[in-house]
Chain A
Amino acid sequence: MKETYYTVFIKNLFINYKTIIRLSYLDNKLKYRRTFLGPVWNSLAQLITIILLSIIWSEIFKIDLNNYLPRLYVGMTCFGLVTYYTSSATSMVYGQYAALFKNLNTNISLIYGRFLFTSIINYIHCLPIYIIIFFIFRITIDFNCILFLFGLALVFLNGIWISFIISALCSRFRDLSPLIESVMAAASLITPILWDKELLGENANLVYLNPFTSFVESMRDPLLGYDVNYNVYLYLIIFLIFGNIVAYFFYNKKRKILPYWI
Chain B
Amino acid sequence: MSSAIEINNLSLSYPIYGDTDLNLRKKIVNLFSKNKLKPKITTINALKNINLVINEGEKVGLIGPNGSGKTTFLKTIAGIYNPTFGTIKCKFEVYTLLDIGMGLNSDATGIENIEIMSLIRGLSLNEIYNKKNNIIEFSGLKESINYPLRTYSSGMTVRLAASIALESNFDILAIDEFFGAGDEDFRKKTEKKLKQMMKNSKAVLFASHDINLVKSICNRIIRFEKGEIVENIYL
Contact = CB atoms under 8 A, between A and B. Distances in A.
B107 A34 contact: yes
Interface string B86-121: 000000001010110011010110001001100111
Nearest to A171: B17
Interface in A98-117: 99-100, 102-107, 110
Nearest to A2: B79
Nearest to A16: B122
B15 A107 contact: no
B78 interface: yes
A22 B80 contact: no
A23 B116 contact: yes
B148 to A, nearest CB: 8
Contact of B80 (A30, A33, A105, A176): A105
Contacts of B108: 26, 30
Given A30-B105, A259-B80, A100 B120 contact: yes
B66 interface: no
Interface string A169-193: 0001101100000000000000000
A35 B102 CA distance: 25
B124 interface: yes
Interface residues of B, number: 32
A76 B122 CA distance: 36
Given A2-B79, A30-B105, A103 B96 contact: yes
Contact of A175 (B25, B79, B102, B124): B25
A62 interface: no
A104 B102 contact: yes
Choose among B25, B75, B96, B119 the residue with the greatest number of A CB atoms under 10 Å from its CB: B119
Contacts of A257: 14-15
B31 interface: no
Contact of A106 (B16, B75, B121, B148): B121
Interface string A220-262: 0000000000000000000000000000000000011101110
A26 B102 contact: no
Nearest to B100: A103
A78 B23 CA distance: 34
A261 B17 contact: yes
B82 A19 contact: no
Contact of B14 (A104, A105, A260): A260
B37 interface: no
Contact of A1 (B82, B94, B98): B82
A188 to B, nearest CB: 23
Nearest to A98: B102
A105 B120 contact: no
A18 interface: yes
B169 to A, nearest CB: 15
Contacts of A26: 108, 112, 115-116, 119
B45 to A, nearest CB: 13
Interface in A138-188: 172-173, 175-176
Contact of B23 (A18, A30, A102, A173): A173
A39 to B, nearest CB: 15
Given A34-B107, A104-B96, A110-B119, 14 more contacts: A19-B119, A22-B119, A22-B125, A26-B115, A26-B119, A30-B108, A99-B102, A102-B99, A103-B96, A104-B121, A107-B122, A172-B17, A256-B82, A257-B15
